[in-house]
């Protein structure tokens, strides 16, 4: 019983983990004499040059010392031992997540003297480490990055590409913004701690992390209504809706104010997707020899969601439930091996399992889409009954205030609304990602290194949304016409449709054939978007990088990536947008290149700080010194795109997931692109004041 209590107290003491560890660095090294014999009990002092904060440690019996959890910045170090001359180092740089290796060689003391080490720490880290790229601080300050976003820095590194889904829009919709106004307020409480201890050949770390988040999310999606202008047939004289009339293109339909569809959401616009995240880890880095280091570790993650605001729906038992997965244990292993003495070849490899965080937007969708409080209205101008209440563009059917937290559909129109449901599947699991890497790097010249690497990433149980309230599809053949809509091309477009065709005349079908409304298995509900642990992904990437630290006024980093990524998930970026699985009965047909798949990417960034003239040419120096010339050049191959068709050809209620027959998801490739961003800066001095000019 006492053992359990002690263990529980230890966990409380160590409430944190990588959150603090990954924001710090370390300096490790050895102290030896001029003959190479290790010196124990040597005094090593480390000073942060910016804050003057001092750290001290004594070397162990093997002459080793370590300073962990150091704030990034510049340091100086000094080592001394009785009977030996003290030795100091030049400026040391500690980077986030990096370990700086340092070696002191103390000479026998003669007259009172202090020896200054003329060398510098190696450019390449020789300890097992996470997958990361360090960018020189001068480069961060000088490179021409539009907006100075940290994501722009990430795009300079090998193996990183940009998600194109936030860059383009293919909507033919008009109306009040479907995503604005929007307001999200987050209040966070973050507790983190890491404990470390060093032995003769072992470095132990353990810790824990608690992140509690309270969220107010105001997102009145489509509460102002939206008109969609898709091809529609009208009377050529009056431009009234007519089944067998003149077909208008979306642009002509907009010019004549004849929209095809109208959408509007109702119900509460405020959700509180609060979440708590807990984590703990333990790690042991073993220095097997002076050339080989091995790192073994494990991490545990748990994410919980609030149950406040969730409503159960008797028509769908999984509605109003959030996942609670407790088996998220993730082992990890890494190694580093050095070949050679001066400028060694460093080989690093690693494998680990990482549990991904579930975005709160999914919990928000579960709160708002219970099928009880929130409802959705979809009107088709071609439908006889919908046409009777179809609003006149640009007026909304129901005028909801811009900042309204709850908008309701009038009771007289209740028969037209559909109650949609968003829910986690009953067997939902936190998605694990397996990641393996191999990196070979060497300092080829002073302050310049060359590295090649390979990365493998395999995601399983990834989130995929699927509308499960659809009837079994039936095959429907559509005739294919030329762009004029009058000449039949002699071919048919076969579609697995979730609606049937009606070939006989009726009140709702005056000009057959007509498409009948969907016969949903649960007719009281509209779409039931279930978030399933069903998708998977595979990524292979090889990179080449050449980097040079700022030396003699020159810095550059070259990064080339050749990669391929495939998955069978949806292309929708977040929950709240329509699920993009084309056939809910055969979701594996979505397998294809990932939307972020980019086969080749090349980035070259540089900073030039020329200073060609010194004291013997002071007048020339006034004009040609103190210039800065940074730049970034980027080339990328085209990204995959899907060949979609306009409208809702398969009649699943989602007009964004229909592809051309015979073409799979993301089967086409967009154009390559290249960008160049350069800047020329000059410092001007007016007395003691500095004035900067950019060009």
Contact (Cβ atoms closer than 8 angstroms) between residue 114 and residue 86 = yes
Q: Give CB contacts under 8 A, 24+ apart, made by 392-395.
A: 393/174, 393/227, 393/257, 393/258, 393/259, 394/174, 394/175, 394/227, 394/257
Environment class of residue 69 by beta-carbon count within 10 Å: exposed (0-12), middle (13-18) or buried (19+)? middle
Q: How far apart are CA 684 and CA 123, in angstroms?
A: 34
Q: Is the pTM for the entire model greater than 0.85?
A: no
Residue holding tokens 């009208």?
234
pLDDT at 139: 61
The architecture that CATH gives domain 24-116 is: Sandwich (2.60)
Distance CA 167, CA 255 (A): 27
Look up residue 145 and give its DSSP letter.
-
CB 444 within 8 A of CB 123: no
- Which pLDDT score is estimated for 68? 83
Question: Any idea where the domains of the chain sit in the sequence?
Answer: 24-116
CA gap 599, 669 in Å, rounded:
10
pLDDT of residue 350: 93
SS (H, E, C) 583-651: CCCCHHHHCEECCCCCCEEEEEEEEECCCCCCHHHHHHHHHHCCEEEEEEEEEECCCEECCECCCCCCC
CA neighbor of 360 nearest in space, from 527, 212, 209: 212
Strands (E), 273-367: 275-287, 292-305, 329-339, 345-355
Classified as helix, coil or strand, 389 is helix
Residues of the chain where predicted confidence (pLDDT) is lower than 70 = 1-23, 96-97, 110-180, 373-374, 484-485, 572-579, 683-695
Would you give the DSSP letter of residue 4? H
CA atoms within 13 A on the CB side of 79: 28
- Tokens matching residue 158: 């090998």
HEC letters along 174-185? EECCCCCCCEEE
Beta strand residue intervals within 500-599, DSSP E? 501-502, 514-515, 528-551, 554-567, 592-593
Q: Which two tokens stand for residue 134?
A: 């360090």
- What are phi and psi for residue 525, nearest 5 degrees? -115, 155
Distances (CA, A) of 244 to 260, 510, 634: 15, 10, 52
Instruction: Select from 566, 595, 526 the least CA-distant residue to 378.
Output: 526
pLDDT of the residue at 16: 31
Largest CA-CA distance found in the chain, in angstroms, rounded: 112
Nearest to 298 by CA among 269, 323, 274, 332: 332
Distance of CA 648 to the CA centre of its chain: 30
> Strand pairing of 270-271 and 202-218?
antiparallel
Predicted pLDDT at 575: 45
How far apart, in whole angstroms, are the C-alpha atoms of residue 546 and residue 558? 5
Beta bridge partners of 481: 488
State how far the Cα of 231 lies from the Cα of 216, in Å rounded to an integer.
40
- For position 684, what pLDDT does the model report? 67
Structure tokens at 354: 């990482």
Backbone torsions φ then ψ of 55, nearest 5 degrees: -120, 145
Structure confidence at residue 155 (pLDDT): 67
Residue 88's Cα: distance from chain center in Å? 43
The C-alpha angle with vertex 495 and arms to 490 and 500, in degrees rounded to 5, equals 105
In whole angstroms, give the CA distance from residue 346 to residue 125.
8
């Amino acid at each position: 019983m006492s053992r359990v209590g002690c263990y529980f107290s230890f966990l409380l003491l160590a409430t944190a983990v990588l959150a603090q560890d990954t924001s710090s660095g370390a300096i490790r090294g050895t102290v030896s004499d001029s003959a190479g014999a290790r010196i124990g009990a040597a005094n090593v002092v480390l000073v942060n040059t910016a804050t003057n904060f001092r750290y001290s440690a004594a070397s162990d019996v093997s002459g080793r010392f370590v300073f962990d959890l150091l704030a990034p910045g510049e340091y100086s170090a000094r080592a001394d031992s009785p009977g030996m001359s003290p030795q100091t180092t030049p400026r040391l740089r500690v980077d986030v997540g990096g370990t700086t290796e340092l070696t002191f060689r103390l000479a026998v003391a003669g007259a009172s003297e202090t020896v200054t080490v003329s060398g510098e720490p190696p450019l390449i880290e020789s300890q097992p480490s996470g997958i990361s790229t360090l960018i020189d601080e001068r480069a961060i300050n000088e490179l021409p990055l539009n907006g100075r976003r940290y994501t722009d820095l990430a795009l300079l590194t090998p193996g990183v590409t940009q998600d194109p889904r936030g860059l383009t829009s293919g909507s033919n919709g008009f109306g009040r913004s479907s995503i604005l106004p929007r307001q999200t307020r987050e209040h966070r409480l973050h507790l983190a701690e890491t404990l470390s201890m060093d032995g003769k050949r072992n470095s132990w770390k353990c810790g824990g992390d608690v992140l509690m988040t309270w969220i107010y999310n105001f997102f009145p999606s489509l509460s102002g209504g939206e008109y969609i202008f898709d091809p529609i047939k009208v009377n050529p004289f009056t431009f009234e809706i007519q089944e067998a009339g003149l077909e208008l293109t979306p642009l002509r339909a907009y010019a004549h104010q004849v929209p095809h569809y109208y959408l509007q959401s109702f119900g509460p616009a405020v959700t509180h997707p609060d979440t708590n995240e807990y984590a703990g880890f333990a790690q042991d880095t073993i220095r097997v020899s002076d050339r080989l280091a091995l790192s073994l570790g494990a991490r545990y993650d748990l994410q919980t969601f609030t149950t406040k605001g969730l409503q159960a729906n008797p028509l769908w038992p999984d509605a109003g439930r959030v996942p609670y997965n407790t088996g998220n244990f993730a082992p990890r292993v890494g190694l580093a091996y050095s070949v050679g003495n001066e400028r060694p070849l460093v080989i690093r490899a690693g494998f680990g399992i990482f549990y991904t965080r579930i975005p709160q937007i999914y919990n928000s969708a579960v709160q708002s889409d219970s099928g009880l409080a929130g409802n959705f209205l979809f009107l088709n101008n071609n439908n006889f009954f919908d046409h009777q209440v179809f609003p006149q563009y640009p007026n909304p059917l129901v005028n909801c205030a811009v900042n309204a937290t709850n908008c309701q559909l009038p009771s007289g129109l209740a028969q037209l609304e559909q109650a949609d449901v968003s829910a986690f599947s009953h067997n939902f699991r936190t998605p694990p990602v397996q990641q393996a890497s191999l990196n070979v790097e060497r300092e080829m010249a002073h302050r310049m290194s060359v590295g090649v690497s390979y990365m493998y990433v395999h995601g399983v149980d990834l989130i995929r949304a699927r509308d499960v309230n659809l009837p079994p599809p039936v095959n429907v053949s559509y005739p294919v016409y030329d762009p004029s809509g009058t000449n039949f091309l002699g071919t048919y477009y076969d579609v697995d449709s979730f609606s049937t065709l009606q070939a006989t005349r009726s009140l709702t079908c005056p000009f057959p054939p007509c498409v009948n409304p969907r016969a949903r298995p649960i007719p009281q509900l509209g779409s039931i978007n279930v978030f399933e642990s069903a998708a998977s992904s595979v990524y292979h990437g090889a990179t080449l990088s050449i980097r040079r630290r700022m030396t003699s006024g020159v810095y550059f980093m070259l990064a080339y990536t050749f990669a391929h990524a495939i998955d069978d998930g949806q292309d929708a970026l977040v929950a709240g947008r329509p699920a993009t699985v084309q056939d809910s009965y055969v979701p594996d047909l979505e397998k294809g290149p990932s939307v972020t798949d980019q086969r080749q990417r090349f980035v070259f960034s540089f900073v030039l700080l020329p200073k060609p003239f010194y004291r013997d040419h002071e007048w020339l120096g006034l004009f040609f010194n103190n210039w800065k010339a940074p730049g970034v050049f980027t080339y990328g191959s085209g990204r995959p795109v899907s060949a979609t068709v306009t409208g809702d050809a398969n009649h699943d209620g989602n007009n964004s997931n229909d592809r051309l027959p015979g073409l799979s998801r993301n089967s086409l490739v967009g154009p390559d692109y290249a960008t160049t961003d350069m800047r020329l800066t000059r410092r001007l001095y007016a007395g003691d004041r500095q004035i900067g000019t950019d060009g």
